[in-house]
Amino acid sequence: MNDALVEARQLTLRYGSKVAVDDVSFSIPKGRVVGLLGHNGAGKTTLMKAMVGLCGGAGSLQVLGMDPRRQRVPLLQHVCYIPDVAVLPRWARVGELITLMSGLHPAFSAERARTLLKRTSVRLSDKVKTLSKGMVVQAHLALVAAIDARLMILDEPTLGLDVISRKAFYEMLIDEWCDGERSVVISTHQVEEIETLVSDVMMLNEGRLALSISLEDIDKRFVALGHDATVAADMAAAHPLLRYRVQGGSAALFDGEPPASVQALGRRIRPSLVDLFIALTRAPEAERTQF
């Protein structure tokens, strides 16, 4: 039985005259937290918009078994899309927003929203314009997490927040919304922060899908070897994906098992998501290899 919430096959999307997403195929099962990673202009926002029917293209895209363009109204009863999680009407009180949501969305629970707000420092009587950006984000997530949806799509949800606010946001998201049945897609540039949160990653590089994999399978597929400077030339000769600095020396990242003779020159270390991201979507300004 197919439990995929999102299914894309040979999907191509345009943004104006530019091909923003180029012939990508992927599947997002239920119960996953997917990090959608890519440099600016990689196609992340266009792909997210397509998932909620805001743009279309060639190929096939199914979300919850529906065509997002043709069945957008019923789809949005089960999908939450937040393009900027810190935007709420500044004139409203938080309690008024709960009342408003109760009238707008049939799957919204006012009681659950109030319960979630108790995890924050936000009060029902607070006006949005008096809240800090971090508090607005917490209030917004409480409202969204009170919707009984199956898929949440978040585009740069913690952009511009301090580290404490970002941590609070992700803790509430994982603790209060993810339940093994729902899935979340998070687009972010803060790769190192989501590594402990996500179950899967999708990496876009200039519109192409560079990688779609679970974190569990990353450790099975990719090998990183820490090594001394004396064997740097031998490591380079083995054509790793990336050579980079680590504490105490250097490292080389390989797609698959390098030859035994190469493995003998170094020691296995765990490749970080940041290192893998740079290796597969390397932009000139992100180049870290300096030997």
Q: What is the pLDDT of residue 288?
A: 43
Tokens of 211: 């990688």
Compute the distance between CA of residue 198 and CA of residue 242 in angstroms, rounded to an integer: 23
pLDDT for 284 equals: 41
Confidence (pLDDT) at 115 = 94
The rounded distance, in Å, linking the Cα atoms of 127 and 123 is: 9
Maximum distance among all alpha carbons in the chain? 68
Q: Are 273 and 210 in contact (CB under 8 A)?
A: no
Q: Which residue has the tokens 């990508």?
A: 24
| The pair of three-digit structure tokens given for residue 243, joined into one six-digit string | 């050579």
Output DSSP code: residue 40: T
Could you tell me where the DSSP H helices lie in 105-148? 110-117, 133-145
- Please list, residue by residue across 232-270, b when 16 or more beta carbons sit within 10 angstroms of its beta carbon and e when fewer do: beebeeeebbbbbeeeeebbbbbbeebeeebeebbeeee
The dihedral of CA 245, 246, 248, 250: what is its sign? negative
Q: Average pLDDT of each block of 10 consecutive residues along the chain (291 residues)?
A: 86 90 96 93 93 93 95 92 77 95 91 92 94 88 90 88 86 87 90 90 94 93 94 94 89 94 93 92 50 37
Q: What structural domains does the chain harbor?
A: 4-206 (3.40.50.300), 218-286 (no CATH)
Amino acid at 37: L
- The answer to whether residues 281 and 39 touch, using CB atoms and an 8 Å cutoff, is yes
What pLDDT sits at residue 85? Answer: 58
Q: Please give the Cα distance from 145 to 177 (Å, whole number).
A: 6
Two structure tokens written together for 2: 């197919």
* 32-47 burial code (b ≥16 CB/10 A, e <16): bbbbbbbbeebbbbbb
Rounded Cα distance between 262 and 60, Å, is 43
Rg of the chain (C-alpha set): 21
Please report the pLDDT score of residue 289 as a whole number.
42
User: What six digits make up the tokens of 27?
Assistant: 């599947």
Determine how β-strand 18-29 pairs with β-strand 151-155.
unpaired
Q: How far apart are CA 80 and CA 144, in angstroms?
A: 7
CA separation for the pair 16, 57 (Å, rounded): 12
